[in-house]
Structure 1
Amino acid sequence: MLLDDPVRRHVDAAGQRRRLAGDPHLDRQPGEGEPVDQRVQPVSAADPSLSPPVVEPGPPGPVVAVIGFTTVFTVLLSVVAVPGVFDTLLLTVRERRRDLGMLEPIGVTPRQVVAMTVTSVARQGVVSGVVGIPSGCWPTG
């Protein structure tokens, strides 16, 4: 800003007038000096209607609405997805029922059958996670 700017000259002249008036409160900028609480208390004591409203800092309303909607939508999708995954795995085991039954005569124990089934389900879950998590995170960056 140039020194001969008329706005700057006006602000400097106003500051000079305040200093010449001798009132220390006129020369102080908001936020300088004592904490805000010490400046607010005398005003609130003199006139309670002048007390500042208490506003909690936080995100604005639309941000809260979007986060809430996203959370509810995620929970609903999870509630729908869990039975779908369970049904898929149940059908996979039912289709293999005869195959699993044929393993008993050749000496496979029930514990080994359960271990094979759990291993198959775990492998399917790991592959789904490896493909699904990056695919789900990709659009959001």
Structure 2
Amino acid sequence: MKNIMIFEVGNDPNIKIFCAHMIILNYRSPYLRRILSTNKKKNDETLVHIKLSNISPEIFSVILRYIYGGKLSLEEYDNSDIIKILIVANELSLQELFPYLETFLIERKADWMEQNFDSIYRTSFENNSFLRLQNYCTDFTVLI
């Protein structure tokens, strides 16, 4: 098992172990690239073990599939999971994913976002990367 990262994701009792190839992670995620660069390998057999207790295994699985495949179909996820995916994408510095997720929410989930405006507003402004959601929230407050 050369060049493998092991992820321990979630909190007790919901912890799951994921394995992924360092080369793919290094290419796709600036956050993981930084982790890899700070864990200099002593030899080709070194495994890097990372704990991500703040991410649910279900959401990490979605993100890992995206990292490997480059595609993400959002139709199968509920709205709150899409927000969680957006937050994790931000944490892992998957910048190309933000616009896609934000556009999907704005164009297809506007009613839900209006019903959950406080949460959407808070989330968008806690993360400076979510510029489209911030603009949506600002425009929405002007309309009220």
Same fold by TM (over 0.5)? no
Normalized against structure 1, the TM-score is what?
0.21
Indicate the structure with greater helix content.
1
Indicate the structure with greater strand content.
2
Normalized against structure 2, the TM-score is what?
0.21
